[in-house]
Structure 1
């Protein structure tokens, strides 16, 4: 009897203590379930678990695929190089109609897989080379018709004048100009005037252009100073204009220095010239040293002037009615006493007040006799050889036609980058 009473009291105490300890747990559980923050964290945890599950499945699938994939034989399609042709045929019927050689299978290697599929390399975009050439000719004819309808109706020949001389960077510079001229969709005549006489090095470069060229040798050698180079280049350009006058070349004359960079829009824009035009030239003042850039020097040494903002641009300045009122010139005050004197100086190379590259003219202006030649043009025989810019060819500079949205568009960039005068570079 006494033992049963002890057991009953022990059970009662145990059940009471359990109820006392479980009561706060139940209440905290209810509070947790009812809390919005707790619900948010539960949902976020579930979302993270779902993302981990998807990514883990994808990763494990790729690992399984790469581990257990077997090595198979990969079939590659190769082609032989084109046979050399002495002359390209323009007739579609003359093109070879044979299908390229049968595809060859190379030795076995690990399978190349991109996603679920292998890579197959075709020898041609289309099985028949003749069909490919037909497609290219159709595209070319469409582009030609578009230029006829929306472009210049009767384009004039572009006569390009380039002074040059043999030096380390000549191949680099001339190749850039040559490639630009090869892309011009008009008839181009390239007059290359070389200081020190015509050389085989220059002739071999311009011969690769497939452009009608006139290589003129100039007896005087190029000086080692920038001022002397500017003066001699002026004489060389005038020599090219005399050749235009003697041969009575008809077209638009532009002055493309070998180190300048030209946009293709420039060649379309100069077709709008009637007699004498001007375009804006971006000036890339380059310093050969490792110091500050030209823009940093300009910002540090010159106070801002809102009436005449410093712009690295040369070209025509127009008013609100698109009338020529003056010229934008490059601000050289920050470089006073710091500019390069000799070609191999490690200093900033500055342009002239108005570069020749920013002007284009009708070739008939330099003819001895031309129909409807304006009276505001000087006689070319009376022009001195030490002129500063082509504006010296005019009696009235206000007759210049501003191009490129009245000078608002920069259509070419002026840059002078040269190596040391005594540096050597292997020809090739």
Structure 2
């Protein structure tokens, strides 16, 4: 009788005893995990961080080279239209300075107003081409380009960095061209479209070096290249103070060669534009304006600048 009572009570209490044992075991494991995690995190926080132990030097990239674009210009019916097209391009080029040189005895009001409103950093110069050098067949813009070179030598020093580019006002330029030329260390070259009676002319490149010229006009020129086809590092200009565009004995189409011979050699040229296989500048020319119906008398009562 006593045994049956004992067993009945034992089996009643047994489930509760098992529940208590299980709860105690779970709590013990949780405490162990917390202690282990705390110990690990403590060691981790006290250990020296590898990435904090080594600090990279605080270097700032040098600013990109400033591009100096030299543009000779002269008074004519399409002058403002040409300059407007150029300004719309140049305005989008960062780190850029426009040197505009008028073929004039003084700065004209048209160009002065245009540059002041153009939102392109600029220098406005002027020099008149002597009448004897204005005959057909003679090189053009010689005095204007030389005036810009003289300005650079007078206002820039060895501490200044930049790239000099001759940007005639009748050409069309891709924005990519300016990023190509910006890395010029000496003299860089590239193809020019719609020039020399061909779709394009270009330097011929082999193994990263210029070895010749693909051209349709006087291929025997030392540098058979258009004025729009090269750029010069500013320090090269400053290091060669006598390098100018020649007037005496100069022949049409030879200005580029006469100038480049003074500052570089063929083997030192730096090919740009995918090893001179990409056209990024075009020698376009505005159509000759027909003003046959412009009245000599009874003109408009309003004076409009064109």
Q: Same fold (TM over 0.5)?
A: yes
1:275 paired with 2:186, answer yes
Distance, in Å, in 2 between the alignment partners of 1:405 and 1:201 is: 39
Distance, in Å, in 2 between the alignment partners of 1:191 and 1:382 is: 18
Q: Which residue of 1 aligns with 2:90?
A: 181
SS, match of residue 84 in structure 2: helix
Distance, in Å, in 1 between the alignment partners of 2:108 and 2:261 is: 31
Sort the Cα spacing of 1:203 and 1:418 in 2 relative to 1 into closer, same or farther, 3 A. Answer: farther
Q: Which residue of 1 aligns with 2:208?
A: 322
SS, match of residue 227 in structure 1: coil
For the aligned residues, what is the CA RMSD? Answer: 3.0
- CA drift at 1:236: 1.4
- CA drift at 1:401: 0.6
- CA drift at 1:168: 0.5
Distance, in Å, in 1 between the alignment partners of 2:305 and 2:104 is: 18
The runs of at least 4 aligned residues of structure 1 exceeding 4 Å deviation read: 221-226, 420-426
Q: Which residue of 1 aligns with 2:141?
A: 233
Q: Which residue of 2 aligns with 1:380?
A: 241
**Structure 1, residues 108-134: CA drift from partner, whole Å, max 9, x if none?**
xxxxxxxxxxxxxxxxxxxxxxxxxxx
Q: Which runs of 5+ in 1 are unaligned?
A: 1-151, 286-293, 295-310, 334-351, 369-378
- CA drift at 1:175: 0.4
Sort the Cα spacing of 1:283 and 1:353 in 2 relative to 1 into closer, same or farther, 3 A. Answer: farther
- CA drift at 1:365: 1.1
Task: Provide the TM-score with structure 1 as the length reference.
Answer: 0.47
Sort the Cα spacing of 1:273 and 1:395 in 2 relative to 1 into closer, same or farther, 3 A. Answer: closer
Sort the Cα spacing of 1:226 and 1:155 in 2 relative to 1 into closer, same or farther, 3 A. Answer: farther
- CA drift at 1:166: 1.0
Number of residue equivalences: 221
- CA drift at 1:277: 0.5
- Structure having greater relative contact order (Cα 8 Å, sep ≥ 6): 2
SS, match of residue 232 in structure 1: coil
Does the 8 A contact of 2:190 with 2:273 survive in 1?
A: yes
Distance, in Å, in 2 between the alignment partners of 1:384 and 1:270 is: 21
- CA drift at 1:329: 1.7
Which residue among 147, 160, 165 is the counterpart of 1:254? 165
1:242 paired with 2:120, answer no
1:201 paired with 2:110, answer yes
SS, match of residue 179 in structure 1: helix
- CA drift at 1:206: 1.7
Q: Which residue of 2 aligns with 1:427?
A: 305
- CA drift at 1:383: 4.3
SS, match of residue 324 in structure 1: strand
Does the 8 A contact of 1:166 with 1:202 survive in 2?
A: no
Which residue among 64, 72, 75 is the counterpart of 1:163? 72
Q: Which residue of 2 aligns with 1:404?
A: 273
Sort the Cα spacing of 1:256 and 1:395 in 2 relative to 1 into closer, same or farther, 3 A. Answer: closer
- CA drift at 1:243: 0.8
Distance, in Å, in 2 between the alignment partners of 1:241 and 1:418 is: 30
Matches within 5 A, 1:47-66: none
- CA drift at 1:399: 0.8
- CA drift at 1:273: 1.1
Sort the Cα spacing of 1:200 and 1:250 in 2 relative to 1 into closer, same or farther, 3 A. Answer: farther
Does the 8 A contact of 1:316 with 1:407 survive in 2?
A: yes
Matches within 5 A, 1:56-95: none
More strand by share: 2
Q: Which runs of 5+ in 2 are unaligned?
A: 1-60, 295-302
Does the 8 A contact of 1:391 with 1:397 survive in 2?
A: no
Distance, in Å, in 1 between the alignment partners of 2:212 and 2:193 is: 17
Q: Which residue of 2 aligns with 1:63?
A: none
- CA drift at 1:382: 5.7
Q: Which residue of 1 aligns with 2:16?
A: none
Sort the Cα spacing of 1:407 and 1:192 in 2 relative to 1 into closer, same or farther, 3 A. Answer: same
Sort the Cα spacing of 1:383 and 1:188 in 2 relative to 1 into closer, same or farther, 3 A. Answer: closer
**Structure 1, residues 199-241: CA drift from partner, whole Å, max 9, x if none?**
111111222221221111112268766533xx23133112211
